[in-house]
Amino acid sequence: MQTKPINQLDFVDGELSSFVSHLETSYLDQAKGAFIVTANPEIGFEAMQNPRYETVLSSADFILPDGIGVVMVSKLIGRPLQSRIAGYDLFTSLLDKAHQKKKRVFFYGAAKHVIEQTIERVRRDYPGVEIAGYSDGYVKDQSEVADKIAAAKPDMVFVALGYPVQEFFIHKYRHLFPQAVAVGLGGSFDVFSGNVKRAPSFFIRFHLEWMYRLITNPSRWRRMLSIPKYVTAVLKHERASAKPQYTGQVKDQSRHL
């Protein structure tokens, strides 16, 4: 897949359908694992503040632009991404593939009642999916969950712990399930289970999901500040990177002019 860099991170430059097709033929059908990050502006900004987190994200096989803020900043710096690829849309697309191909899937994250409702819906709407196992996100010992995933031998692992926890988890334990496509999905289980309502199609079509979330949950306004913070930080980094760098050798030679 073609990628374009934004502040040290290489984002997939393509459409959801082409990305899923690539995953299917090059990874799922080959029993080859992958670490997928669905990065919104909050994740991008956190990576700029936290070098350890940036290293974890850089180790991923794919970083998707999950947020119109990421696409917007890509255009501002002259490396425009084709489209946003939402984590939730990737989640449901991969469930479709798992249903069609009878793939084994492990679900990890969210509150106990949310994960149980998620599993109920998967069994109802995607009966071809083989549920390899599941765990809520409040288990104290993550290594126990990792061992449980390893024993289940899944083809896909969906981790909905929120950033940066989900990315650190996949990065740390992916060697235990090397055959699995592992994706960090944030709050996708909450939406999928019906506990949180996704924005209506109008807001999605015009890239205004952030506005819908702010209207329905005003307490999120602090999180929304991540968009301008991310844009500002990236533009500042780009300006700094564009400044000419003079080597010591050139400086030494200039003294003799």
What CA–CA distance (Å, rounded) separates 176 from 182?
11
> How many other C-beta atoms lie within 10 A of the C-beta of residue 217?
11
Specify if 208 maps to a domain. no
Higher pLDDT, 226 or 11: 11
Q: Which residue has the tokens 């996100």?
A: 137
User: At 160, which amino acid appears?
Assistant: A
| Domains: count for the chain | 1
Specify if 216 maps to a domain. no
Reported as half-sphere exposure (CB side, CA atoms, 13 A), residue 113 has a value of 3
The pTM of this model reads 0.87
Contact in structure between 151 and 140 (CB atoms under 8 Å): no
Contact in structure between 126 and 100 (CB atoms under 8 Å): no
Q: What is the CATH number of the domain that holds 58?
A: 3.40.50
Specify if 209 maps to a domain. no
Specify if 111 maps to a domain. yes
Specify if 213 maps to a domain. no
Q: Tens digit of pLDDT for each residue in 64-120? A: 999 888 999 999 999 999 999 999 999 999 999 999 999 999 999 999 999 999 999
Which residues neighbour 207 within 8 Å (Cβ) at sequence distance 6 or greater?
68, 71, 84
In percent, the amount of the chain with pLDDT more than 70 equals 83
Specify if 105 maps to a domain. yes
Specify if 247 maps to a domain. no
Q: Is residue 157 over pLDDT 90?
A: yes
Q: Is residue 141 over pLDDT 90?
A: yes
Specify if 172 maps to a domain. yes
Which domain covers residue 157, as residue numbers? 3-193+225-242
The predicted pLDDT at position 254 comes to: 45
Q: Tens digit of pLDDT for each residue in 25-54? A: 999 999 999 999 999 999 999 999 999 999
